[in-house]
Amino acid sequence: MRSKSASSLELLQGTLELVILRALVLGPAHGHAIAKHIRQTSEDVLHVETGSLYPALHRLESKGWVAASWELSDKGKRARVYRLTRAGRKELSAERSRWERFSRAMSLLLNPSKESLS
């Protein structure tokens, strides 16, 4: 669609949903706020495409991990606000530990300690 600034990265396949769930732990939020939160928290490295964000949100909703409702935003506009469900919370912790094991494994592979090399 358009060129990206070199500093921003695409999220890995499958991690977007995890990131969204994590963002919602802080409290209910609408789509734009979620995207902004991800960008700011990742220090502007991770950008969420609108074209991926909303399908992902709706996918999470259809699986019952988040619930959506129409609420008035602080500016008085109708906004679709997502909140984490109990099932979503469970999914988040499962997914998080899976990710942590994965990233630990990756860093072990990429930065091998001496013992493992010898």
Partner 1 sequence: MKMLLYRLRRLLQGRRRDDEIREELAFHLEEDEADRVDAGIGADAAKRAARLDLGNVTLHAEDTRAVWISRVIERITQDLRYALRRMRRSPVFSIVAIASLAIGIGANTVVFSLFNEVLLRPLSVPDPSTLVNLSVPGPHYGSVSCNQAGSCDSVLSYPMFRDLERQQTVLTGLAGYWLFGANLAYSGQTLSGRGAMVSSSYFSVLQLAPTLGRLIGPDDDRAPDGTAVVVLSYAYWVDRFGAASDVVGKTMTVNGQTMTIVGVGPRNFSGTTVGAPAQVFAPITMRSRLEPGFHAFDDRQSYWVYSFGRLKPGVSIEQARAALDGQHHAILTGVELPLLTKVSDDERAQFVARKLLVDPGAEGQSILHRLAKPIVTMLFVVTGIVLVIACANLANLLLARSAARATELAVRASIGASRRRLVGQLLVETCALSLLGGAAGLVLGEWLLAVVRRSLTPVGIPNIDVHLDWRVLAFSIGVALLTGVIFGVFPALHSTRSTLASALKHQAAQSSGARSAARFRAAMILAQMTLATVLLISAGLFARSLANVSRIEVGIKVDHLVTFTIWPRLNGYTPAAARDLFQRVEERLAVTPGVERVTATSVAIVAGTTLGTDVLVETSTRRDGAASNSAYAAVGPGFFETVGIPVIAGRGFTPADRVGAPKVAVVNETFARKLGLGPEIVGRRMRRGSNGPLDMEIVGLVRDAKYSNVKDAVSAVFYTPYRQDEHLAGASFYVRTPLDPASFLKTVPAVMTTLDPNLPIEDLRTMEDQVRVNEFGDRALVTLSLSFALIATLLAAIGLYGVLAYSVAQRTRELGLRIALGAAPSQVRRLVLRSVVWLTAIGGVLGAGAAFALGRTIESLLYEMKSRDPWVFVSAVGVLVCIALLAGFVPAWRASRIAPMAALKAE
Asked whether position 51 contacts partner 1 by CB under 8 A, the answer is yes
Asked whether position 55 contacts partner 1 by CB under 8 A, the answer is yes
Asked whether position 37 contacts partner 1 by CB under 8 A, the answer is no
Q: Which two tokens mark 76?
A: 């008085």
Asked whether position 31 contacts partner 1 by CB under 8 A, the answer is yes
The rounded distance, in Å, linking the Cα atoms of 94 and 88 is 10
Considering the complex, state which of residue 1 and residue 109 has its C-beta at the smaller distance from partner 1.
1
The rounded distance, in Å, linking the Cα atoms of 26 and 84 is 9
Considering the complex, state which of residue 51 and residue 118 has its C-beta at the smaller distance from partner 1.
51
How many C-beta atoms lie closer than 10 Å to residue 87's C-beta?
13
Asked whether position 49 contacts partner 1 by CB under 8 A, the answer is yes
Instruction: Kindly state the DSSP code that residue 21 receives in the 8-state scheme.
Output: H
Considering the complex, state which of residue 5 and residue 116 has its C-beta at the smaller distance from partner 1.
5
User: Taking a C-beta distance cutoff of 8 angstroms, is the pair 86, 25 a contact?
Assistant: no
Asked whether position 32 contacts partner 1 by CB under 8 A, the answer is yes
